[in-house]
Amino acid sequence: MDQRINYLLKQFTDGELSSIERRELLQLAEEYPLLINGEIVKLIEAQMVDRTIDDQQDWDNVLETILASDKPKIKSFKSIILKWWWAAAAVVLIVFSLSTYVNVTRKKEHVFATDFAPGSNKAILTLANGRRISLNDAAAGDLMEDAGMAVTKTANGQLVYHIIKSSELIDDTKKNTITTPNGGEWQIKLPDGSTVWLNAASSLTYPLNLGNGTIRQVQLAGEAYFEVAKDKSHPFIVKTAKQELTVLGTHFNVNSYADEGVTRTTLLEGSVKIENFQNGHWEILKPGEQAVLNNGVFRVDEVDTDESIAWKNGYFMFNNEKQESILRKIARWYDVKVEFADQSAKDVMYYGTVSRFDKISQVLRKFEQTGEVKFDIKDKKLIVYKD
């Protein structure tokens, strides 16, 4: 989160903040002002270099330097209004942050009796014969040979399949399954050359002859990001509990956790056809679109794709998301159970970004700083209170 705020403020002062980033920074300022105090002060210190702020003129110079970076390129009436609206918002943001910074930093941090490390590379590979291999415990190198395929674990933890026999000799009935537990994730290069990132509490089942038949078909439960190898003669199909996706070569993310209630498919590159098992309805997605399947009905929205693949890039990203939904993600990644002592805490909304590599206590403190909720950790249970 700190890195994201620092990036947005740097973009602002450099005059390179996009319209989407402006909205994000303004919303962060409105909803989480206490979280950005430190970054505001760092920015102002950088602007002032070694100077000390002694009087109002110094403050005016700082604000003028920061706000001068936001110049409208088109001098329309609308752009002028937006310029002053943005400038006024930035002034409020900076002044409010400075006035509260000292008091906030002096507050004692909530010390949790129990803490948990973030998730890591953990997965189980289940072979067609039922044999199970703990991938996180296995040494890098060749793991095994099965039905004409060699399976290797790379030094960076990726699972890679290599054909060692003629494709005609590969057993087309054999399938492997890779499963991540709560607190685990894994990257796999499939026999056809496609790459899949598997999120926590997820599984992917695939045939060893993937790419050698008329279709390439895999089964997903949970969440995964796919970069599908292009092959016009062999469509790539992803089946989940409620839908089926058909692609030729593309990048997309599928979230199909059973406890989410909806299935979300986000397209980053290429084209995807999605079919609803319940009624046969289908949609074609374009890059930047997300299909939400809820109660048998598709809704297609334009979205910020960064949010959908934030987990793959090492952070949580929330866009006006309810606490209840956020904590399901936290629970999977830190392998804890969540209990709401106050049901009203489920509906608290958040917008922001949090690193997935922090301990759970660091993540929870950032939520607590909003003054909306507080937490307690007992054994493996995270208890949520409305503050």
Last residue within a domain, chosen from 307, 332, 366: 307
pLDDT at 80: 39
68 is a domain residue? yes
Q: Residues 265, 274: contact at Cβ < 8 Å?
A: yes
Name the CA dihedral angle for 344, 337, 220, 273, rounded to a multiple of 10 degrees. 10
pLDDT tens-place string over residues 37-71: 555 555 555 544 444 444 445 545 545 554 454 44
Q: Residues 192, 214: contact at Cβ < 8 Å?
A: no
Parallel, antiparallel or unpaired: strands 337-340 and 315-322:
unpaired
Beta bridge partners of 315: 355
115 is a domain residue? no
Q: Can you say how many angstroms the Cα of residue 199 is from the centroid of all Cα atoms in its chain? A: 10
pLDDT at 174: 84
Which residues are within 8 A (CB) of 176 and not within 5 positions of it... i.e. 6 or more apart?
A: 125, 126, 127, 128, 146, 151, 205, 206, 208
112 is a domain residue? no
Same domain as 174, residue 25? no
Same domain as 260, residue 203? yes
113 is a domain residue? no
pTM of the model: 0.73
pLDDT tens-place string over residues 74-112: 334 334 334 444 444 444 444 444 444 434 444 567 788
CA distance 370 to 28: 11
Q: Write the secondary structure of the chain as one string of H (helix), E (strand) and C (coil).
A: CHHHHHHHHHHHHCCCCCHHHHHHHHHHHHHCHHHHHHHHHHHHHHHHCCCCCCCHHHHHHHHHHHHCCCCCCCCCHHHHHHHHHHHHHHHHHHHHHHHHHHHHHHCCCCCCCCCCCCCEECCEEECCCCCEEECCCCCCEEEEEECCEEEEECCCCCEEEEECCCHHHCCCCCEEEEEECCCEEEEEECCCCCEEEECCCEEEEEECCCCCCCCEEEEEEEEEEEECCCCCCCCEEEECCCEEEEECCCEEEEEECHHHCCEEEEEEECCEEEEECCCCCEEEECCCEEEEEECCEEEEEECCHHHHCCHHHCEEEEEEEEHHHHHHHHHHHHCCEEEECCHHHHHCEEEEEEECCCCHHHHHHHHHCCCCEEEEEECCEEEEEEC
CA distance 181 to 324: 21
pLDDT tens-place string over residues 110-136: 788 889 999 999 999 998 889 999 999
295 is a domain residue? yes
Average pLDDT, stretch 370-376?
91
pLDDT tens-place string over residues 308-356: 999 999 989 988 899 999 999 999 999 999 999 999 999 999 888 889 9
Same domain as 360, residue 325? yes
pLDDT tens-place string over residues 279-319: 888 999 999 999 999 988 999 999 999 999 999 999 899 88
CA distance 174 to 67: 63
Average pLDDT, stretch 190-206?
95
Same domain as 369, residue 320? yes
pLDDT at 305: 93
Domain containing residue 199: 120-307
Average pLDDT, stretch 4-26?
68
pLDDT at 102: 39
375 is a domain residue? yes
CA distance 271 to 285: 6
Same domain as 226, residue 150? yes
Residue 297: Cβ-neighbour burial (10 angstroms; 0-12, 13-18, 19+): exposed
For residue 358 the two structure tokens come to: 């922090």
Same domain as 211, residue 284? yes
288 is a domain residue? yes
Last residue within a domain, chosen from 307, 339, 361: 307
Same domain as 319, residue 301? no
What CATH code is carried by the domain that includes residue 373? 3.55.50.30
Is 80 exceeded by the pLDDT of residue 72? Answer: no
Last residue within a domain, chosen from 241, 275, 307: 307
Same domain as 217, residue 276? yes
Name the CA dihedral angle for 104, 105, 106, 112, rounded to a multiple of 10 degrees. 90
pLDDT at 165: 63
Same domain as 349, residue 291? no
Q: How far is CA 18 from CA 8, 23, 61, 248, 341, in A?
A: 9, 9, 24, 33, 40
CA distance 156 to 22: 36
Q: What end-to-end distance do the CA atoms of the chain give, in Å?
A: 22
Please report, rounded to a whole number, the percentage of residues in the chain having pLDDT higher than 70. 70
CA distance 323 to 31: 14
Same domain as 128, residue 37? no
Same domain as 182, residue 242? yes
96 is a domain residue? yes
Q: How far is CA 279 from CA 89, 236, 242, in A?
A: 48, 22, 10
Name the CA dihedral angle for 368, 336, 206, 121, rounded to a multiple of 10 degrees. 80
Which residues are within 8 A (CB) of 259 and not within 5 positions of it... i.e. 6 or more apart?
A: 328
How many domains would you assign to the chain?
3
Same domain as 339, residue 285? no
